[in-house]
Amino acid sequence: MTLLHWAILSPFLLAIVVPFLFKAFRKIHTGWFVLILPVVLFVYLFQFMSTTQNGGTIKETVQWMPSFGINFTAYVDGLGLLFALLITGIGALVVLYSIYYLDKNKEQLHNFYVYLLMFMGAMLGVVLSDNLIVLYMFWEFTSISSFLLIGYWYHRERSRYGALKSMLITVFGGLSMLGGFLLLYVMAGTFSIRELVEVSGQLMTEPLFVPAMLLVLLGAFTKSAQFPFHIWLPDAMEAPTPVSAYLHSATMVKAGIYLVSRMSPIFAESSIWLWLVAGFGILTMFWGSFNAVKQTDLKGILAFSTISQLGMIMSLLGVGAAALHYDYLDDNIYMVATLAAIFHLINHATFKGSLFMVVGIVDHETGTRDIRKLGGLMHFMPITFTIAIIGAFSMAGLPPFNGFLSKEMFFTGMVRVLEMDIFNLDTIGILFPIIAWVGSIFTFIYSMILVFKTFTGKHQPEKLEKKPHEAPFGMLVPPIILASLVVIFGFFPNILTDRIIEPAVAAITPSLIEEGHELHAHISFWHGFTPELFMTLGVILFGVLLYLLLPKWKKIYDVFPKKLSLNSLYDGGIIKGERGALQFTNGYMTGFIRTYLVYIFSFLIAILLFSMWYKGAFAFNTENLAPIGVYEIVIALLLVISSITILFAKSRLTSIIALGAAGYTVSLFFVLFRAPDLALTQLVIETVSVALFLLCFYHLPKLSRHEERMTFKLGNALISLGVGITVAMIAISSYSTKLFGSISEYYIENVYDEAGGKNMVNVILVDFRGFDTLFEICVLAIASLGIFAMIKLRLTRRKEG
């Protein structure tokens, strides 16, 4: 494997070592060892920036399952590099923050950092994989590791609830996404994203194109908490704050954004893609901001704000897809929406990451996140207050911070929808700028609530668990760095354009770049008196007014009945689903093996007989049959007599003897058919089986009168006859109907040359079906160990008794 592959897998490798480091160095916080890796990875990946900046890419392939078209292909372009730098850069700051946030004497740090490293490696695998199946594998790793991180404090019921909720919703989306990937493979014959992009024009004509698109979007929407799948994100806030800062601001929730960006070259020319991505995105943006205002938990505010911001980025990616239909637009503005999406993606990671860390500091130093108990903290925590001001004002879209610039570009992208005369955007499209503007007003309001309800106003020490004070310097360093980037990117945004933003946009819209469109992104504060400027002024004016009048209109949230909420629907579905599943299971899980055999055999008869009838498969051909001799008839009669004796015997000993007689009779058939090795195997098996049965039944009581008087049951008789007739018909039909040559010819030709053996049966078992034999041995070994453990346990209990 190449160095790039090792970089992706290195977090998993370190995760294996972390528990040993935790035990060996108890006096040192395990995070110091973990911190080294994301820093090294960030530096390593940073060197690729010169390549992607010039339009180049890096592609390294390791063959995995080439016969299935599945290879571990690591691919670095502008888009993948952007996300990889976010994953490692923010990851390094989160690890540093967690060193001071988590007490090494109270927390199970080895578990925390193992889960965190698993997640980091999974995210790197998602954004740097070219193969869809490999991408899916890492995608599901993110769901598993996030489940473990959210439920890290597993002793809390809400943590377990939030972890399960996120797992169910995101795994559902992941399985849907896998279905979409498989449909793409059916259409194009490849799992490579690069190759799919090259044939994207042909895919649009395929009937499976739209189903594949919908399934892929389900995966993206569930992972990025788009409406109506957003309900898992607020409950995921039960995780430790470092987890929230990492997963829910910069990485996991951005995986859906990445997927939409990466798949845009394949699907973006479809009107369905534009309307679904842009429509659900703008709806999520409004709904998240609207619900954030009513939250009283600081993390709850940030959770819904994250939902809103993700919807904002998603809507920009959807609107940006319209650029593929506009060859006449000016080169500097035809991708303004996509530019805004990438720029805000970076900005959101900086200001939201710092805000999550601020909330963690407040919780850590006061013991609460409830804004009803907080207030006046600016006097005790001036540095934290300063960071909060920078992050919240940037989130609100106020100058001179980076959030103002990307929010202006967001308004520009929404206003330009009105200029587009495709897909009814020139009519219904008027809703996009309206919803964007209203949602931005609520964004302004919750940003002000976050800062001023926490740090200004009346101090309430009697409601706090701890006496507030400034956080340790080490805990302040990561949010200070992020807040500094908010300011730097605000004043000097163009340090990102040609190095990060333009290569990422080029990766999202490769067809436009190939057509000769040149992208020269230049971001500045002043563009004149534009509609966007007046929209911003309106946001500030109405935002301040509604914030001041918040107590008078906040009762509007009580109008919405909680029973009709999506959370209530989810909870009701889970509860009713569990009850229904329990009732259904209790209905057929009776505890009697004969009942289960009735289900199995009835299904077997129905499916096989129907299949044979539907396909006209039954045939009876007596040609090439060997004559039946006296010996065969006699042995067959003995076999039938032995079988009937088993059923009607009144003694277990008689039944065991009859069972052994039936087995030995079968071995005689093998002798007559000149298969001595099979006959020997059958004799050994029957001998061992009879001996084991005798040993087992020796300790059981004798047959009771009730068992002696077993009544005849017509249903059981019919099922028995049905199974026998069905199997016999299949055997006769399979012999009489030869659709292709026997596989035995292949073994006859290859057992000696390929495996170097003359005994065909032995070679098949050991070489051609070696894995099957190995697994059968493993199953028998596991069963033997289980039986031994149960016997041992029973003997131990007897001794104790």
DSSP 8-class letter at 349: H
Tell me what pLDDT residue 344 has: 94
Pairing mode of beta strands 70-76, 58-65:
antiparallel
Q: Is the distance from CB of 321 to CB of 289 less than 8 angstroms? A: no
Tell me what pLDDT residue 108 has: 84
- Measured CA to CA, the distance from residue 556 to residue 294 in angstroms comes to 10
- 446-455 pLDDT, tens digit each: 999 999 999 9
Q: What is the maximum span of the chain, computed from C-alpha positions, in angstroms? A: 107
* Residue 493, token pair as written in the block: 């945004």
Closest CA to 235 of 285, 184, 167: 167
Q: Please determine, for residue 696, whether its predicted confidence score (pLDDT) is greater than 90.
A: no
- Measured CA to CA, the distance from residue 142 to residue 303 in angstroms comes to 19
More confident residue, 377 or 629: 377
For 650-769, where are the alpha helices, taking DSSP H only?
652-672, 676-698, 705-708, 714-736, 744-755, 760-763
Q: What is the mean pLDDT of residues 165-192?
A: 94
Q: What is the mean pLDDT of residues 175-202?
A: 93
117-131, 139-153, 520-534: which range is least confident on average? 520-534
Q: Please determine, for residue 704, whether its predicted confidence score (pLDDT) is greater than 60.
A: no
- 716-731 pLDDT, tens digit each: 888 888 998 999 888 8
Tell me what pLDDT residue 253 has: 87
Tell me what pLDDT residue 706 has: 45
Residue 200 pLDDT class (50, 70, 90 cuts): confident
Residue 732 pLDDT class (50, 70, 90 cuts): confident
> Using only C-alpha atoms, what is the Rg of the chain?
34
pTM over 0.85: no
- 663-682 pLDDT, tens digit each: 889 898 888 888 887 888 88
More confident residue, 699 or 408: 408
Which residue, chain included where needed, has tokens 């990025």?
224
Closest CA to 31 of 106, 145, 109: 109
Residue 701 pLDDT class (50, 70, 90 cuts): low
Half-sphere exposure of 730 (CA within 13 A, CB side): 13
Residue 594 pLDDT class (50, 70, 90 cuts): confident
More confident residue, 553 or 576: 553
Tell me what pLDDT residue 397 has: 93
Residue 655 pLDDT class (50, 70, 90 cuts): confident
Tell me what pLDDT residue 705 has: 45
DSSP 8-class letter at 60: E
- Out of 275-279, 645-649, 687-691, 774-778, the most confident range is 275-279
Tell me what pLDDT residue 329 has: 46
Residue 332 pLDDT class (50, 70, 90 cuts): very low
Average pLDDT, the chain: 87
Q: Is the distance from CB of 387 to CB of 377 less than 8 angstroms? A: no
Give the percent of the chain with pLDDT over 90. Answer: 50
Tell me what pLDDT residue 700 has: 65
Tell me what pLDDT residue 560 has: 78
Tell me what pLDDT residue 36 has: 95
Tell me what pLDDT residue 535 has: 94
Give the percent of the chain with pLDDT over 70. Answer: 95
Q: Please determine, for residue 423, whether its predicted confidence score (pLDDT) is greater than 80.
A: no
- Out of 24-38, 320-334, 607-621, the most confident range is 24-38
Q: Is the distance from CB of 216 to CB of 270 less than 8 angstroms? A: no
Closest CA to 295 of 366, 342, 237, 223: 237
For 25-131, where are the alpha helices, taking DSSP H only?
31-46, 49-53, 78-101, 109-127
Q: Is the distance from CB of 373 to CB of 463 less than 8 angstroms? A: yes
**Within 10 Å of residue 704's Cβ, how many Cβ atoms?**
8
**626 phi and psi angles, rounded to 5 deg:** -75, 150
Tell me what pLDDT residue 629 has: 82
Q: Please determine, for residue 5, whether its predicted confidence score (pLDDT) is greater than 90.
A: yes
User: What are the counts of helices (DSSP H) followed by strands (DSSP E) for the chain?
Assistant: 35, 2
Using N-to-C axis directions, what is the helix angle for 209-223 and 157-188, rounded to 10°? 160
Q: What is the mean pLDDT of residues 370-394?
A: 93
Q: Please determine, for residue 242, whether its predicted confidence score (pLDDT) is greater than 80.
A: yes
Q: What is the mean pLDDT of residues 506-511?
A: 84
